[in-house]
Amino acid sequence: MNRKLLTLLSLLLSLSFFAKDYHDLLNQENAVQISRVGNNDLTVKMPDFIFENTNSKIELQFVNPANPKLTENNYQLGFILNGQEIPVTFDKNGHAVINHKFQSGDKASLLFEDLSYTKELNIISLWMIIVPVAFVALLIILRVLNQKAKNKIAKKNRLAIDAKKIAEAKSETKTTTIKVSEVTEEEIMA
């Protein structure tokens, strides 16, 4: 009887030790899950309009700057952006900026552990900007050149009128002194 009781007691003690190990194992798994980064832990900001082949800023901000994942990895994490792994360095406030060049037709897909961020992008081709700006610049240049041509004609007309006044003044009076100055073509052109 003592032997059976002793066996039963040792069996119960050994099961309690296994149960304790199992409980510790569950706590470790929960701790690992808690430190995983998900969609609620990080906010992603992207510009509404992105120009093709230019660096665009993607801002990342941890909701909790003291996130265990940040502190354990010295504020450096590896994100996957459009299929490429990119190392990202965060500051002490949990803020980071990624510069990336997008092509037309690209989508923004950012992945890290349980975080999944996808956004359709409005990518604007640079030709849509350059052509109208060049057209406006051409119009301004043509307007300036046209204005210079009008000023040149006005100067010539003024000289002709001044010469007429001199001739009229000579014929009307006998003793009139008129001061005449010579104007060169360079002064007319200017």
Predicted confidence at residue 123, as pLDDT, reads: 79
Are 84 and 99 in contact by the 8 Å Cβ rule? The answer is no
Instruction: Provide the pLDDT for residue 32.
Output: 47
Count Cβ atoms within 10 A of the Cβ of residue 46 and give its class: 0-12 exposed, 13-18 middle, 19 or more buried: middle
Instruction: Determine the pLDDT at residue 164.
Output: 64
Residue 73 to residue 4: CA distance in whole angstroms: 54
- Is the CB of residue 79 less than 8 Å from the CB of residue 112? yes
**Could you report the per-residue pLDDT of 79-132, keeping only the tens digit for each?**
999 888 999 999 999 999 999 888 877 788 888 888 888 888 777 777 777 788
Return phi, psi of residue 128, to 5°: -70, -20
pLDDT at res. 18: 58
User: Hey, what amino acid is at 64?
Assistant: N
The residues of the chain scoring below 50 in pLDDT are 30-32
Residue 13 has which token pair?
């003690």
Q: Is 39 helix (H, G, I), strand (E, B) or coil?
A: coil
Number of Cβ atoms within 10 Å of the Cβ of 110: 22
DSSP 164-182: HHHHHHHHH-SS-------
Predicted pLDDT at 177: 65
List the domain boundaries for the chain: 42-124, 127-189
The pLDDT of residue 109? 87
Res 38: pLDDT = 82
User: What fold, for 42-124?
Assistant: Immunoglobulin-like (2.60.40)
The pTM of this model reads 0.52
